[in-house]
């Protein structure tokens, strides 16, 4: 039995967009729910946190499984992104797959994450929780969480978790701890909608794992490889580091202050990369997988997909670079300029 502690209701939607955030559309501030109900069931290494839409509380909602990076078992790390996902109408399950930075070993991470997903879904079927819609489930993963997401995407049936319809791998990789990675990803579902995003200045895990997934997912035709590069207008910098998906929110702080949490508090920031890369592409990917809308934003190397917004003077920020499956060799070359 999972031990669950209620943590409270928190404001989710903003009264106005964040600076640089579009007012509507993928990544935008056209929110349907004003609050998020946050539940803590993560006392164990295979536990989970839950984020449910509220104010108004729906009877049911689609699901996003959000797989954190190594050591990021403090749910504040991606808190603003998860608030955004919930305010747009999603239940977010945030599995915990490690107890601390030492144990368990990485070979246990996928099974632990899967246990957390199963337990979270079972809990959502009880009491006054928002009931989960199990069609169109999205799996989002950052860093080691991206490797776990890809692993679960191959072995979803074995782990008795929902089949992924959408998968967003954000700067995925394992570094030297390779226990959760596979030799190839040809086993990903043929009907999966897959985006792999890497950063030009990711010196933590680099591009190698993202390339591996993209190039070996040969039975998954609807996949794009996205390269994000740094830019400046002479006043501000748009970074392209491993830290770009971080957008902490202290509403969800569980008090953990390990290396990862301290690093997030030091370097995490909310900017155009969140709104026009990770949030925009994630929203569009989910919507396309569920309703067929926003396919031109999620896929295809279109201007809408590539755009990172504009500087204060109206000039466009350096756009994303997108590679399609037929350009896998070009993507590999771009990763080693």
The pLDDT score that the predictor gives to residue 211 is: 97
Q: What local confidence, expressed as pLDDT, does residue 334 receive?
A: 54
- For 295-312, the pLDDT digits (tens) are 999 999 999 999 999 999
- Give, as one character, the DSSP assignment of residue 207: S
Q: Rounded distance, CA 43 to CA 39, Å?
A: 12
CA atoms of 325 and 331, how far apart (whole Å): 9
> Looking at residue 328, what is its pLDDT?
47
The pTM assigned to this predicted structure is 0.94
Question: What's the confidence (pLDDT) of residue 15?
Answer: 79
Nearest 10 degrees: Cα torsion 256, 257, 259, 262? 120
Cα distance between residue 154 and residue 150, in whole Å: 7
CA distance linking residue 264 with residue 244, whole number of Å: 10
Residue (of 147, 121, 101, 144) closest to 52 by Cα position: 121
Instruction: Answer yes or no: is pLDDT of 329 > 70.
Output: no
pLDDT for 222 beyond 70: yes
Name the domain count of the chain: 1
Instruction: Quote the strand ranges of the chain, DSSP E.
Output: 5-11, 35-41, 48-54, 60-67, 91-95, 131-142, 166-170, 193-199, 223-228, 231-232, 237-238, 321-323
Task: Please give the average per-residue pLDDT across 308-328, as a whole number.
Answer: 91
Strands 48-54 and 35-41: antiparallel
Give the separation between CA 126 and CA 117, rounded to whole angstroms.
15
Question: What is the arithmetic mean of pLDDT over 206-227?
Answer: 97
Q: Per residue in 151-172, pLDDT tens?
A: 999 999 999 999 999 999 999 9
CATH of residue 310: 3.40.50.1820
Question: Sign of dihedral through CA atoms 241, 246, 248, 252?
Answer: negative
Residue 326's pLDDT is what?
78
Q: Among 83, 99, 84, which residue's Cα sits nearest to residue 44?
A: 99
User: φ and ψ at 215, to 5 degrees?
Assistant: -80, -25
Structural domain of 141: 5-334
pLDDT tens, residue by residue, 93-117: 999 999 999 999 999 999 999 999 9
pLDDT (mean) for 212-233: 97
Q: Is 107 helix (H, G, I), strand (E, B) or coil?
A: helix
- Angle, alpha carbons 12-68-190 (nearest 5°): 100
pLDDT band, very low/low/confident/very high, at 5 (cuts 50, 70, 90): low
CA–CA gap between residue 79 and residue 269 (Å, rounded) = 11
- Find residue 51's DSSP bridge partners: 38, 92
pLDDT at 185 over 70: yes
Model pLDDT for residues 256-285, shown as the tens digit of each residue: 999 999 999 999 999 999 999 999 999 999
Residue 8's pLDDT band (boundaries 50, 70, 90)? Answer: confident
Average pLDDT, the chain: 94
3-state secondary structure of 108: helix
Q: Do 197 and 277 form a contact (C-beta atoms < 8 A)?
A: yes
Q: Please indicate whether residue 218 or residue 15 has the higher confidence score (pLDDT).
A: 218
């Amino acid at each position: 039995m999972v031990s669950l502690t209620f943590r409270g209701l928190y404001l989710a939607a903003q009264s106005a967009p964040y600076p640089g955030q579009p007012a509507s559309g993928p990544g935008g501030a056209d929110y349907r729910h004003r609050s998020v109900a946050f539940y803590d069931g993560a006392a164990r290494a295979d536990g989970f946190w839950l984020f449910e839409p509220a104010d108004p509380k729906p009877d049911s909602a689609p699901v996003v499984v959000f797989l954190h990076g190594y050591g990021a078992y403090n749910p504040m790390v991606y808190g603003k992104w998860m608030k955004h996902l919930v305010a747009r109408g999603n239940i977010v399950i945030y599995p915990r797959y490690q107890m601390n930075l030492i144990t368990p070993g990485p070979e246990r991470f996928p099974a632990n994450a899967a246990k957390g997903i199963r337990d979270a879904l079972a809990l959502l079927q009880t009491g006054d929780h928002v009931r989960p819609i199990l069609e169109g489930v999205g799996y989002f993963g950052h860093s080691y969480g991206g490797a776990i997401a890809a692993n679960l995407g191959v072995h979803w049936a074995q782990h008795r978790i929902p089949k992924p319809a959408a998968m967003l791998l954000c700067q995925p990789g394992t570094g030297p701890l390779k226990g959760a990675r596979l030799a190839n990803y040809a086993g990903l579902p043929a009907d999966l909608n897959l985006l792999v995003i890497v950063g030009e200045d990711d010196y933590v895990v680099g591009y190698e794992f993202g390339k591996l997934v993209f190039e070996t997912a040969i039975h998954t035709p609807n996949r794009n490889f996205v390269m994000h590069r740094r830019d400046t207008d002479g006043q501000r910098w748009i970074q392209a580091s491993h830290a770009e998906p971080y957008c902490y929110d202290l509403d969800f702080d569980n008090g953990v202050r390990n290396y990862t949490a301290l690093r997030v508090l030091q370097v995490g920031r909310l900017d155009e990369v969140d709104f026009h890369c990770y949030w925009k592409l994630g929203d569009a990917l989910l919507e396309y997988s569920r309703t067929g809308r926003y396919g031109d934003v999620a896929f295809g190397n279109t201007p809408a997909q590539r755009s990172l917004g504009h500087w204060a003077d109206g000039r466009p920020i350096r756009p994303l670079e997108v590679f399609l499956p037929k350009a896998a060799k070009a993507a590999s070359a771009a990763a080693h300029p």
